[in-house]
Amino acid sequence: MLSGKKIILGITGGIAAYKSAWLVRAFIKAGAAVRVVMTPEAKDFVTPLTLSTLSKNPVLSSFTQDEENELWNNHVKLGLWADFLVIAPATANTLAKMASGASDNLLLATYLSAKCPVYFAPAMDLDMYKHATTQANFKLLASFGNIMIPATSGELASGLEGQGRMAEPDDIVAFMTKDIRSKLPFYGKKVLITAGPTYEAIDPVRFIGNHSSGKMGYALAECAANLGAEVILISGPTALTVKHSSITVKEIVSAAQLFEQVKSYFDEVDVAIAAAAVADYRPINPADEKIKKKTERLQITLEPTEDSLKYMGAHKKSQFLVGFALETENEIENAKGKLQRKNLDLIVLNSLNDTGAGFRTQTNKVTLINASGTINPQELKPKKEVAKDIFNHIRQALHV
Ligand code: CTP
């Protein structure tokens, strides 16, 4: 959730500031870019040098600091740069100023200018935490839409025991990740995607396969995960890998294995997309040993494979079902026929007649056809963009 995101980490003057160095590391490890803004008091607890080294960015703490020869630090620019502003540790003093709209330091001015979600992780002694003013400020900040990462209980710097310890850096990252995911449109939804080719064995070393690279299916999986879904990606042999922790890959080789996986997961998903290029036929009784070369003709008898998409169409309850159709002639008519025969909600037609579309390319040119027959032709686009178009269509249909 934080990968590729821009985070301003605001550090205020409390002993928990020593944990900020770990927090910068944790954000960077999660794939985020970090800029640190400190209050002047925070510099007594942790050095800007440590934080600039870890964040690989200059640390800002005053309006007039000379950054890259600018005479003043533009808090408006900073506020607009960020995807998230995280204030950790947030002292009682800074929280009170945030609640009242004071802006007597760069961090507060940045806070007032920021348009992005704001998280704050309070850290203070237990009595300060419990104080009616602090509690009222928590409520006020929540009413502004700011998100509190509650302090934990335990031994405090004062030697007293109670609530007021700043959440641990890894817990802050976990809290934010969960919070961001929970606001995504596909949060709580499960999506099944089939991708890649299947290989149907002729003998132990040979197979019938196809040119599918799996790129379209993997782009769809990535897109679904970015929208907050839990994804089951049933994948034939490809050279691709997934990075997203919400994608579970089930590797298969043959159409029969793909079918088994589809049967075991289909009931539990909300959306299923069949992007795999599944072999329609497989050799009957593949040879146990490598077939030796002879002078006469070799005949291999084929039998039909299981049609996973047809199975899903026949067994669907409330699932939104999407199929692909690769056609070379009578494209629209054939795709519409498939949509009806397989009881789909949407079919994605790609034509091998279009340059840049189909197997092994980075791009695809598709036409979306829905169950009521509406035909929606798209431009030639990178497969990632095509995946977005498909999910935009699904979102409209599901009203999410
Ligand atoms: N499909 C599947 N299982 C199969 C064959 C196809 O799940 N055994 C799915 C594909 O993933 C695709 C859709 O069905 O989403 C259509 O595949 P396609 O090969 O174009 O159509 P077929 O039904 O095989 O018909 P034909 O080959 O005659 O065009």
Question: Is residue 72 scored above 80 in pLDDT?
Answer: no
Q: Tell whether 92 is covered by a domain.
A: yes
- Mode of pairing for the β-strands spanning 320-327 and 271-274: parallel
User: 136, 155, 182 — which closes off a domain?
Assistant: 182
- The pLDDT value given to residue 139: 98
| Residue 159 pLDDT class (50, 70, 90 cuts) | confident
Same domain, 221 and 152: no
Same domain, 157 and 216: no
- Minimum-distance ligand 1 atom for the alpha carbon of 325: 20
User: 128, 155, 182 — which closes off a domain?
Assistant: 182
Residue type, 119: Y
Same domain, 223 and 356: yes
Section 61-86 average pLDDT: 77
- 112: its two tokens: 């007032």
Q: Tell whether 1 is covered by a domain.
A: no
Kindly give the distance from the C-alpha atom of residue 381 to the centroid of ligand 1, in angstroms, as a whole number: 23
Q: Name, in order, each residue with C-beta under 8 angstroms of 153's C-beta and a sequence gap of 6 or more.
A: 161, 162, 163, 164, 165
Q: Tell whether 360 is covered by a domain.
A: yes
Same domain, 292 and 159: no
Contact 224, 169 (CB under 8 A): no
Q: Tell whether 235 is covered by a domain.
A: yes
User: 123, 157, 182 — which closes off a domain?
Assistant: 182
Residue type, 125: D
Q: Tell whether 217 is covered by a domain.
A: yes
Is residue 347 within a helix (H) or strand (E), and if so which, with residue range? strand 346-351
Pick the range with the lowest mean pLDDT from 56-70, 170-184, 275-289, 335-349: 56-70
Kindly give the distance from the C-alpha atom of residue 210 to the centroid of ligand 1, in angstroms, as a whole number: 13
Q: Over the stretch 355-390, which tens digit does the pLDDT of each residue have?
A: 777 676 788 889 999 999 999 999 999 999 999 999
Section 107-127 average pLDDT: 95
d(CA 252, CA 255): 8
Task: List, in sequence order, every residue forming a beta bridge with 259; answer none if it has no partner.
Answer: none
The DSSP code for 241 is: -
Catalytic residue among 57, 210, 334, 343: 210
Which residues sit with their C-beta closer than 6 Å to ligand 1?
194, 255, 274, 276, 278, 280, 305, 307-309, 323-326, 338
Same domain, 13 and 105: yes
Kindly give the distance from the C-alpha atom of residue 399 to the centroid of ligand 1, in angstroms, as a whole number: 28
350 counts as catalytic: no
Range of the domain at 13: 6-182
Same domain, 314 and 372: yes
Same domain, 119 and 226: no
Q: Tell whether 312 is covered by a domain.
A: yes
- Give 326 or 186, the one with higher predicted confidence: 186
Question: Is residue 341 scored above 60 in pLDDT?
Answer: yes
Same domain, 178 and 195: no
Same domain, 36 and 165: yes
Q: Name, in order, each residue with C-beta under 8 angstroms of 179's C-beta and a sequence gap of 6 or more.
A: 119, 147
Question: Is residue 73 scored above 70 in pLDDT?
Answer: no
d(CA 344, CA 273): 10
Look at the chain and report how many structural domains it folds into: 2
Q: What CATH number corresponds to the domain at position 274?
A: 3.40.50.10300
Section 225-232 average pLDDT: 96
Tell me the C-alpha to C-alpha distance, in Å, between residue 60 and each of 24, 103, 105, 112, 114. 14, 15, 11, 16, 16
Q: What CATH number corresponds to the domain at position 150?
A: 3.40.50.1950
Same domain, 121 and 195: no
Question: 147: burial class by Cβ within 10 Å (0-12, 13-18, 19+)?
Answer: middle
Residue type, 168: E
Same domain, 264 and 324: yes
Q: Over the stretch 119-147, which tens digit does the pLDDT of each residue have?
A: 999 999 999 999 999 999 999 999 999 99
Same domain, 284 and 385: yes
Q: Tell whether 257 is covered by a domain.
A: yes
Residue of 199, 253, 273, 278 to mutate, ligand 1, most atoms within 8 A of C-beta: 278
d(CA 199, CA 339): 25
| Residue 65 pLDDT class (50, 70, 90 cuts) | low
User: What pTM was computed for the model?
Assistant: 0.85
Residue 234 main-chain phi, psi, to 5 deg: -90, 110
Q: Name, in order, each residue with C-beta under 8 angstroms of 374's C-beta and a sequence gap of 6 or more.
A: none
| Residue 69 pLDDT class (50, 70, 90 cuts) | low
Q: Over the stretch 7-27, which tens digit does the pLDDT of each residue have?
A: 999 999 999 999 999 999 999
